[in-house]
A and B are shown apart, each in its own frame.
Chain A
Amino acid sequence: MNARISFDDVRVGFGAGKKRKEVIDGVSFDLEGGEFVSVLGPSGCGKSTLLNMAAGFLKTDSGEVRFDGEPITRPESRRGVVFQQYAIFPWLTVEKNIAFGLTLKSNRRSRSEIDETVRRYIDLMGLGGFEKALPKELSGGMRQRVALARAYATDPDVLLLDEPFAALDAQTREFMQELLHEASQAERRATLLITHSVEEAIYLSHRIVVLGNRPTTVHEVIDVDVPWPRTPQSRLQPEFLEVRGHLEGVMRSLSGSTLRKAQS
């Protein structure tokens, strides 16, 4: 086994004693080297909480999240994170944003190495010509490309993506999925994607972990057999449509049960 990230019976709850309410009630799964795994679940099911624990922003109440076998205690650049909100630094240009991690003490590189890395990810993310642009001059899609480039640049072992495209319009989203797919084909880094989009999860993943909620548990894990590499046409292949039909049904029943529980 070469699990990069492993969730081992993770539990999170609020309150104490009899009043204690589990929010996440025993979630276990692994992300292996070179693997792209999506965590799919209805909104409010604690998907982002899981990612925040993998990043090192949050602690578990019981159970453990491990990185290469070691318990995660704090954020570090070996686990790159891309957030749903545009978290690129608004006071830095595109190239300085991408170079940020490489100019820190923990990850310092030489000037020429930094230039080379920045160049490579500017090209990979199609940001050529915008090196000196400030974030305020960029569209939402371009900002997320900068955020992806910045995360890739520090050469992380694992990439954690927290609904990175959720704030984008449908067309930009599809384009970004294709761009991310090409990038992850080229980079082959273990990637964990949090999403509530069935389409996005199938298009990008080797495996999909479906979460059910209230309290959150792993509902099922699906291996996606759509051939690699994926292209826009993949979205029309029978394997794709079959998984999609299944997952949409599951998602509908999961959010339906959430609604019923919320009403009762």
Chain B
Amino acid sequence: MQALRRTLLPFVGFAVVIGLWWVAATSVGGRNLPSPVAVFDAGWTGLRATDGLLVDIRLSVLRVLIGVVVGCALSLPLGFLLAWFPTLRAMFDPIVNFCRALPPIALSPLVIIYFGIGEDARLFVLIWAAFFASVVVLYEGITAVDDIYVRAGRALGASEFEIFRRVIVPATVPQMFVAVRVALGVSWATLVAAELIAAQRGLGWTIQRSASFFRTEEVYAGIILIGISALLMDLVVRIAQRRAVSWQERVVR
């Protein structure tokens, strides 16, 4: 019963919002606020069209994937270095935080100067965004590893390297997943903005183009598809996380 409620309630939530939207759309009407049915139709048509929305979805998902994979992979060694050496951390922590606080899109004029408006430019911005989002989460997680495990490892005869590889690294795995999820969120936000500026296909590009033709139902469909894609990617990471860190104690609520 409890489990059934937990799986059903989110759907009820969606139904309520869509219902309100429908009511609003039928009472206001017109092109500015298309009804859910019109949006669904537009989305469905776009998805079935050859060279349609599916191509854009694939392109956007691929861009985010490359950004997150490369960005997080690069952040791993830096995260461990900053966590392990307090001097390095004291030196570079402010710069890393500065780069993280900088909205990646603010870089795009420079990126266009250096990389042009091709795929390279977009990927650079995405990798940048994922990297700085991930690195902070990582090293804060690593420095928060309970010292008791390090002591226990040392008392059992572990060398510095063994402490790192057999205590710090496994203890940090949960934090790595958090880092990936944060990077995913930031990457989607950045991707859409990047595609709005200099675009050759992609979900951000479709909503921009549909808006310029005043096809609001297509804009809505595009936005919803972006949401669904981001949500699904997050879900995949969460499932992987649950498998990989099944040893973690969950706080029961």
Query: Are B155 and A85 neighbours in the complex by a CB distance under 8 Å?
Result: no
Chain A, 131-161, CB within 8 A of any chain B CB: 134-136, 150-151, 154
A136-B249 contact given A75-B151, A83-B151, A89-B167, CB 8 Å threshold: yes
* B162, closest chain A residue (CB): A104
A129, B149: Cα distance in complex, Å: 25
B-chain residues with CB within 8 Å of residue A91 when the two chains form the complex: 170-171, 173, 245, 247
Query: Are A105 and B156 neighbours in the complex by a CB distance under 8 Å?
Result: no
Query: Are B157 and A81 neighbours in the complex by a CB distance under 8 Å?
Result: no
Query: Are A77 and B156 neighbours in the complex by a CB distance under 8 Å?
Result: yes
**28 contacting pairs across A/B (C-beta < 8 A):** A56-B154, A56-B155, A74-B154, A75-B155, A77-B156, A79-B155, A80-B156, A81-B151, A81-B155, A83-B148, A83-B151, A87-B148, A88-B152, A89-B149, A89-B167, A89-B171, A90-B247, A90-B249, A91-B170, A91-B173, A104-B156, A105-B159, A106-B157, A107-B156, A134-B246, A136-B248, A150-B156, A151-B156
B residues near A (Cβ < 8 Å) are: 148-149, 151-159, 162, 166-167, 170-171, 173, 245-249
A151, B154: Cα distance in complex, Å: 12
Q: What 8 A-B pairs are tightest by C-beta distance, nearest first?
A: A77-B157, A101-B156, A106-B157, A81-B155, A75-B154, A87-B152, A136-B249, A87-B148
Query: Is A55 located at the chain interface by the 8 A CB criterion?
Result: yes
Contact with B along A86-115 (1 / 0, CB 8 A): 011111100000001100111100000000
Query: Is A76 located at the chain interface by the 8 A CB criterion?
Result: yes
B-chain residues with CB within 8 Å of residue A175 when the two chains form the complex: none
Query: Is A57 located at the chain interface by the 8 A CB criterion?
Result: yes
B154, B155, B170: most-surrounded residue (chain A CB, <10 A): B155
A79, B157: Cα distance in complex, Å: 9
Query: Are A104 and B159 neighbours in the complex by a CB distance under 8 Å?
Result: yes
A134-B247 contact given A81-B151, A85-B148, A105-B162, CB 8 Å threshold: yes
Interchain CB contact (< 8 A) of B152 among A79, A83, A104, A134: A83
Query: Are B247 and A104 neighbours in the complex by a CB distance under 8 Å?
Result: no
Query: Are A76 and B157 neighbours in the complex by a CB distance under 8 Å?
Result: yes
B-chain residues with CB within 8 Å of residue A101 when the two chains form the complex: 156-157
B-chain residues with CB within 8 Å of residue A87 when the two chains form the complex: 148-149, 151-152
A55, A80, A90, A150: most-surrounded residue (chain B CB, <10 A): A90
Query: How distant is A204 from chain B, measured CB to nearest CB, in Å?
Result: 21
Query: How distant is B161 from chain A, measured CB to nearest CB, in Å?
Result: 9
B-chain residues with CB within 8 Å of residue A80 when the two chains form the complex: 155-156
A-chain residues with CB within 8 Å of residue B158 when the two chains form the complex: 104, 106
A252, B248: Cα distance in complex, Å: 42
A-chain residues with CB within 8 Å of residue B245 when the two chains form the complex: 91
A162, B155: Cα distance in complex, Å: 13
* A55, closest chain B residue (CB): B155
Query: How distant is B178 from chain A, measured CB to nearest CB, in Å?
Result: 16
A226, B173: Cα distance in complex, Å: 50
Query: How distant is A83 from chain B, measured CB to nearest CB, in Å?
Result: 6
* A154, closest chain B residue (CB): B156
A-chain residues with CB within 8 Å of residue B159 when the two chains form the complex: 104-106
* A52, closest chain B residue (CB): B151
B-chain residues with CB within 8 Å of residue A134 when the two chains form the complex: 246-247
A-chain residues with CB within 8 Å of residue B149 when the two chains form the complex: 87, 89
A154, B156: Cα distance in complex, Å: 7
Query: How distant is A93 from chain B, measured CB to nearest CB, in Å?
Result: 9
A104-B248 contact given A83-B148, A89-B170, A91-B171, CB 8 Å threshold: no
